[in-house]
Structure 1
Amino acid sequence: MSDFDYDLFVIGGGSGGVRAARVAASEYGVKVGLAEEDRYGGTCVIRGCVPKKLMVFASSYRDLFADARNYGWEINDGPFDWHLFSGKMRNELDRLEGIYRKLLDNSGVEKFDARATIKDAHTVTLSTGEEKTAKHILIATGGRPVRPELENGELGLVSDDIFHMDALPRSMLIVGGGYIACEFACILHGMGVDVSMYYRGGQILNGFDDEARGLVAEQMRMRGVGMHSGASILEMDQRDGGICVKSTLGNEKMFDKVFFATGRRPNTDNMGLEEVGVKLGRNGAIEVNEYSQTGVPSIYAIGDVTDRVNLTPVAIREGMAFVETVFGAKPTPVDHDLIPSAVFTQPEMGTVGMTEEAAREQEEIEIYATSFKPMQTAFAEREDRVMMKLVVSKKNRTVLGCHIVAPQAGEMIQLAGIAIKMGATKEQFDQTCAVHPTMAEELVTMRTPVRTS
């Protein structure tokens, strides 16, 4: 009989923690406990990917109504009903949370709706006052949005708040230029909000391919999002009619709402981690090795709380690798190489592998790229442009990166990611027959590099 209450105790009921808990319990037959202080499903399901994508869908109909008229349909685009949509969205999130709870129950995982902290290498303390012991502890507490240290900063919303607005504002200032800022700028603009963006850098989407992010910025401006580079807030205060913002642009402007999309922080505060020997790095992230193991051998951590690659599918894969390592007797390092991802702006951006800028620093490359007006929106008399781009090694012809800016770029990059993960060469792309007429056929029809370096 085990000396511990559980073989595994998981702290955090998000996608990574739930996957690790239920697989360990159902496939390896170990006794598992899990504690979640908020809602099951975590950031992705409750206050991230899922509600955000529903909002993306909702906001995209504005363009579709205009397109439909140009295709011969008699259609009127009435005002967007936020109350109807948000009510349905909350019902859907409740349904998904129920599924997460049921998955744990069906796997035999014992759930605790409580906050858990670390007492020692094998003991967790619950906010109910109970203590539970486990041979292994897995921390999967995710991260949270943070407000900048600014007087009256509490007047601003963060991403968690967006899904709970009672009504859509007439105007909103979004502070930040990362993917969360850009996605919500497009979403809210599509829903009829007058959106402005202030970001410190010279361009949005820092870290992404320069050509791709440049096209996204161009299309956002063309749609009517007010974008202001090199801008940050100096002062903000509540006044009749909204929030008055004084900025480095040298003016004062009123907004109904201000939304800070200025970063996230791992949820490691007041958990007792450093007291038991778990090291915290930059921004409070838990330091782990390639097997997600901390400096305390019995304690592991996965997902955003480690601040490695903060994506839901990555947290799930890290959870699976942890289970295989600890309970499957198959040490499995986490593979963070060539991870496809998408930014759900309008148009979307899909990316996998190296940017042109990063690849150029590594070796000699060839760039194959094209930008054009897609058939569907060109016929509807829209000025939208899309881009397909391949970054190719001059030495061995391997496709090092793929960057797509286009409607449904997320769907396309998922499939392109398979080929690039397999190490496909440019010639193998060329040997693939095109599907015509599609936007994605350009990925296999570009024959001549536009530049080499």
Structure 2
Amino acid sequence: MNSFRGHGGAAETDVVVIGAGPAGALAALRAAELGARTTLISSGEFGGMAANEGPVPVRAFAYAARLMRDARQLPQYGITESEPVLHFDRLRARVREIVHDVGTRTALRERVDALGVSLHEQSGVARFTDSHTIETDRGLRLRADRFIVCTGGMSRRLAIPGIELTSSHSDVWNATEVPTSMLVVGSGHTGVQVASMFNAFGTRVELFEGGPRILRSEDDDVAAAVASALRDSGVAVHERFGTITSFEKTRVGVRLNFRNGDHEGHAEAALAVVAAGWVPDTAGLNLARAGVAIDAHGTIQVDEFLRTSVPHIFAAGDVTGRLMLVPGAVEDGFVAATNAVQGPTQPLRRRVSPSGSFTHPEHAQVGLTEAKAREAHDVLATMVPFDSAVRAIIEGRTFGFCKLVVDRASCRILGCHVVGERAVETVQLAAVAIAAGMRVDDLARVAISFPTYAEVLVHAAIRAAAELRLPLGGYAAHMGVRASPA
């Protein structure tokens, strides 16, 4: 790679990576491994949204909610204890400790440092001044041969009167106390997690979804089960509620006004949280100055090598708008950096990307939903309930199911959907099976530790293999697995 020499006070480097989240950190690591002089800049702390506002703090708050629910279960096991009391200020302090530890102790950070990557944190927003130069709000100016844009995403803001009276999910984590009541607008993964956690903390929660069901990207059975569980736990779930017309400040908080046909209604709470989607964080980059093409939503257009419309500028992660998950961002970062340093040699491969949410109950999925699979396949769907799993019975966590979607012709697993205790971990096993190209009878023959929650996955595979009349030997052949209709 040919480097630029310093120009106009700009420091010279081979590769500049903008953004230090999962995509950016991996891109910087890979570029440095390949011998490029690499600079990694971040407007905030190392780790980006994932470590500082997203999965890491979300999981920490979810763990606190879980502990409160577990404490309330103690009397079932003969353990006498008073009702748990949450001290939110102490929880926030603990979450800050966790975020700090993740940012400073992660092996990824250690490797970035060990490879000599020049890291600039808290550098402010970066913007292009031309296609080879960037400068930041804090005065850093860099000129480079290649750039990789990894600035991630941000909460979508709705163009509704009074929207400034609402909070984002990030604002909620920084609240000084648990609100007595909360309106959550938007029922994707983020909105449902916020609703579930604060319900556990004692907040009266109402969840609003304009469409026909919550979790619209999930399998139909998953969405129905989670909605049912939320309602049973005390969350008021409003589906098809209509269209928001405005937010208003009230004496005690915020009022949401909405219209549904000819009917006008409202709901009021101490706090309103809008979680209406996630959009690429590209507005401040001045990409037009560099000649980089974006669409109407601010998404950077890339090819299979993650090149933008400018051949020496690459993009990875949420800014590409394709699959806004940490595993995909990590793979993007690796591929973008490889191609930035070595030229366009490695196309982005098809991903097996599991996802899940730390709600109560947990839900997770990998592969195709049943409805999507039926568009192109002759499908068998089997569903095994948690109340047939020994571990779930032991721990009193019998709500939920594991659903497998299988192609009848090839017997390949097309999708797995789990609602219930340890759903996120269970789906990881299904992701490995799908990535390995296993047939459902292969999975059915896997020996599984007893008793574990992962049993439901293998039991679902046994059930599917039996319905497909596939020969099974040993343990699998003699298992009587009760199934729920799918």
- Is this a same-fold pair by TM over 0.5? yes
What residue in structure 1 maps to residue 34 of structure 2?
28
Distance 2:3 2:301 in 1: 29
Aligned-pair distance for 1:376?
5.8
Distance 1:63 1:108 in 2: 45
Distance 2:386 2:139 in 1: 62
* 1:431 and 2:445 are equivalent in the alignment: yes
What residue in structure 2 maps to residue 213 of structure 1?
223
Q: Is the 8 A contact 1:366 1:452 kept in 2?
A: no
* 1:69 and 2:70 are equivalent in the alignment: no
* 1:387 and 2:393 are equivalent in the alignment: no
Cα distance 1:380–1:35, how it changes in 2: closer, same or farther (>3 A)? closer
Cα distance 1:365–1:82, how it changes in 2: closer, same or farther (>3 A)? same
What residue in structure 2 maps to residue 293 of structure 1?
307
Which residue of 308, 311, 314 maps to 2:322?
308
Which residue of 2, 5, 8 maps to 2:15?
8
What residue in structure 2 maps to residue 18 of structure 1?
25
SS at match of 2:297: helix
Aligned-pair distance for 1:41?
1.2
Q: Is the 8 A contact 1:68 1:75 kept in 2?
A: yes
What residue in structure 2 maps to residue 238 of structure 1?
249
Q: Is the 8 A contact 1:146 1:158 kept in 2?
A: no
| Structure 1 residues 49-90: Cα deviation after superposition (integer angstroms, max 9, x where no partner) | 000000110001222112221011112223211011101211
TM-score norm. by structure 1 comes to: 0.93
Q: Is the 8 A contact 1:367 1:451 kept in 2?
A: no
Aligned-pair distance for 1:452?
11
Which residue of 142, 159, 167 maps to 1:149?
159
Distance 2:192 2:22 in 1: 24
| Structure 1 residues 84-117: Cα deviation after superposition (integer angstroms, max 9, x where no partner) | 1101211222333334766544332223323221
Q: Is the 8 A contact 2:364 2:424 kept in 1?
A: yes
Distance 1:70 1:118 in 2: 61
Cα distance 1:64–1:395, how it changes in 2: closer, same or farther (>3 A)? same
Cα distance 1:129–1:84, how it changes in 2: closer, same or farther (>3 A)? closer
Aligned-pair distance for 1:175?
0.3
Q: Is the 8 A contact 1:244 1:254 kept in 2?
A: yes
Structure 1 residues not aligned, in runs of 5+: none
Q: Is the 8 A contact 1:156 1:258 kept in 2?
A: yes
| Structure 1 residues 265-287: Cα deviation after superposition (integer angstroms, max 9, x where no partner) | 21111322123321102411000
Distance 1:67 1:129 in 2: 55
RMSD of Structure 2 on Structure 1 (CA): 2.3
Distance 1:72 1:49 in 2: 35
SS at match of 1:2: coil
* 1:172 and 2:182 are equivalent in the alignment: yes
Distance 2:186 2:138 in 1: 39
Distance 2:175 2:234 in 1: 23
What residue in structure 1 maps to residue 474 of structure 2?
none
SS at match of 1:10: strand
Distance 1:78 1:343 in 2: 24
The residue identity in structure 2 corresponding to 1:443 is: L
Matches within 5 A, 1:299-338: 299-327=313-341, 331-338=345-352
What residue in structure 2 maps to residue 348 of structure 1?
362
Distance 1:395 1:451 in 2: 23
What residue in structure 2 maps to residue 262 of structure 1?
276
The residue identity in structure 2 corresponding to 1:19 is: L
SS at match of 2:418: strand
What residue in structure 1 maps to residue 119 of structure 2?
111
Cα distance 1:123–1:226, how it changes in 2: closer, same or farther (>3 A)? same
Q: Is the 8 A contact 1:402 1:416 kept in 2?
A: yes
The residue identity in structure 2 corresponding to 1:391 is: V
What residue in structure 1 maps to residue 471 of structure 2?
none
The residue identity in structure 2 corresponding to 1:245 is: L
The residue identity in structure 1 corresponding to 2:373 is: A
Which residue of 34, 37, 43 maps to 1:37?
43
Aligned-pair distance for 1:29?
2.6
What residue in structure 2 maps to residue 417 of structure 1?
431
The residue identity in structure 2 corresponding to 1:352 is: V
Q: Is the 8 A contact 1:365 1:452 kept in 2?
A: no
Q: Is the 8 A contact 2:391 2:451 kept in 1?
A: no
Cα distance 1:346–1:275, how it changes in 2: closer, same or farther (>3 A)? same
* 1:194 and 2:204 are equivalent in the alignment: yes
Which residue of 54, 64, 79 maps to 1:58?
64
The residue identity in structure 2 corresponding to 1:353 is: G
Distance 2:350 2:207 in 1: 31
Q: Is the 8 A contact 2:259 2:265 kept in 1?
A: yes
Cα distance 1:380–1:402, how it changes in 2: closer, same or farther (>3 A)? closer
| Structure 1 residues 168-206: Cα deviation after superposition (integer angstroms, max 9, x where no partner) | 100000001111111111111111111110110111111
SS at match of 1:338: coil
Aligned-pair distance for 1:377?
6.1
Cα distance 1:93–1:436, how it changes in 2: closer, same or farther (>3 A)? closer
* 1:88 and 2:89 are equivalent in the alignment: no
Which residue of 290, 297, 312 maps to 1:283?
297
| Structure 1 residues 367-402: Cα deviation after superposition (integer angstroms, max 9, x where no partner) | 1112243556656777x5211111111111111111
Cα distance 1:62–1:106, how it changes in 2: closer, same or farther (>3 A)? same
Q: Is the 8 A contact 2:132 2:290 kept in 1?
A: no
What residue in structure 1 maps to residue 143 of structure 2?
133
Cα distance 1:439–1:108, how it changes in 2: closer, same or farther (>3 A)? closer
Distance 1:376 1:170 in 2: 35
Q: Is the 8 A contact 1:12 1:34 kept in 2?
A: yes
Alignment length, in residue pairs? 451
Q: Is the 8 A contact 1:147 1:154 kept in 2?
A: no
The residue identity in structure 2 corresponding to 1:234 is: T
| Structure 1 residues 211-233: Cα deviation after superposition (integer angstroms, max 9, x where no partner) | 12211111111111110011243
SS at match of 1:283: coil
The residue identity in structure 2 corresponding to 1:20 is: A
Distance 2:211 2:289 in 1: 38
Aligned-pair distance for 1:323?
2.5
